[in-house]
Structure 1
Amino acid sequence: MEETDIEQYIIIYYHNLLTMEEKLAYKHHITTEKVENSSEEFGKILMKRWGTTNKEALKLLEGGYGEFKKKVARRILSETPDKVFINNCPKCGKLARTPEAKQCRFCGHDWH
């Protein structure tokens, strides 16, 4: 199980546990990725609408998105471990696609 898989899993499925600045930073990162694949004009519109100028949020992304994910996941797991369910397959131990999943995407094991 890749550490980055767990980090992304936590950010996506436990988004409610992110701070306001972390949410702004995440949204800014996603917007930046979309801008890279857009025309210049459309990119400006996206950044104006979904990007952020919040200094604290932008500071969180200074080390790159990988570092941001690590810090957020560590913080959430240390501050609220009881609110996060890491759903691993009971057969192969790999991370399930979602916290509610009942079938492994890797080995196919079904635990409904």
Structure 2
Amino acid sequence: MHDQNKYLTKYVLRYCRNFMTDEERLICDYLLYKEYPTNNYKVKFIKYKLGLTPKIEEALDAIFETKTKEEFYKEMVERIVKNHNSDLNLCPKCNEVARTDTAKQCRFCSHDWH
């Protein structure tokens, strides 16, 4: 049995950034930034790109004092699915999320809708 939430979360993070609020997008980028070692060159670029100041980082860290990263993702994904369900690439047979936003074959039931 597969974990639908895991696949749906990955899909939303990769293909549905345009449905995220500005705040959600910043938080997702910040969480990605936090996964890298602090001396990594990508960290410096992401920090610059996001315009992260120590005060903003403190505010973002404060968000996760009351909820986990998984809870944040779950809430965001639920909101996007609720508001943009018709824009997601779902299998017409089993209603599971496709591997990509342009895929035409279901990875779960193998249904093909080319």
> Does the alignment reach a TM-score above 0.5?
yes
- Counting matched residue pairs gives 106
Kept in 1, the 8 Å contact 2:33–2:47? The answer is: no
Post-superposition offset of 1:18:
0.8
Kept in 2, the 8 Å contact 1:28–1:50? The answer is: no
Equivalence for 1:49:
48
Q: CA-to-partner distance for each residue in 1:34-91, whole Å, 9 max, x for gaps?
A: x23xx62636624632453262x5455443321111011122233x23553241262x
Task: Give secondary structure in 1 for the equivalent of 2:107.
Answer: coil
User: Could you list the runs of 5+ residues in structure 2 that have no partner in the other structure?
Assistant: none
Post-superposition offset of 1:9:
1.5
- Quickly say closer, same or farther: Cα 1:82–1:5, change in 2 above 3 A: closer
Post-superposition offset of 1:109:
3.9
TM-score under structure 1 length normalisation: 0.67
- Quickly say closer, same or farther: Cα 1:110–1:82, change in 2 above 3 A: closer
Q: Please provide the CA RMSD for this pair.
A: 3.0
Post-superposition offset of 1:102:
0.7
Alignment of 1:30-109 (within 5 A): 30-33=32-35, 35-36=36-37, 40=39, 42=41, 45-46=44-45, 48-50=47-49, 52=52, 53=56, 55=59, 57-62=60-65, 63-78=67-82, 80-81=83-84, 83-88=86-91, 90=93, 94-106=96-108, 108-109=110-111
Return the letter of the residue paired with 2:33.
Answer: T
Kept in 2, the 8 Å contact 1:104–1:110? The answer is: yes
Kept in 2, the 8 Å contact 1:85–1:99? The answer is: yes
TM-score under structure 2 length normalisation: 0.66
User: Could you list the runs of 5+ residues in structure 1 that have no partner in the other structure?
Assistant: none
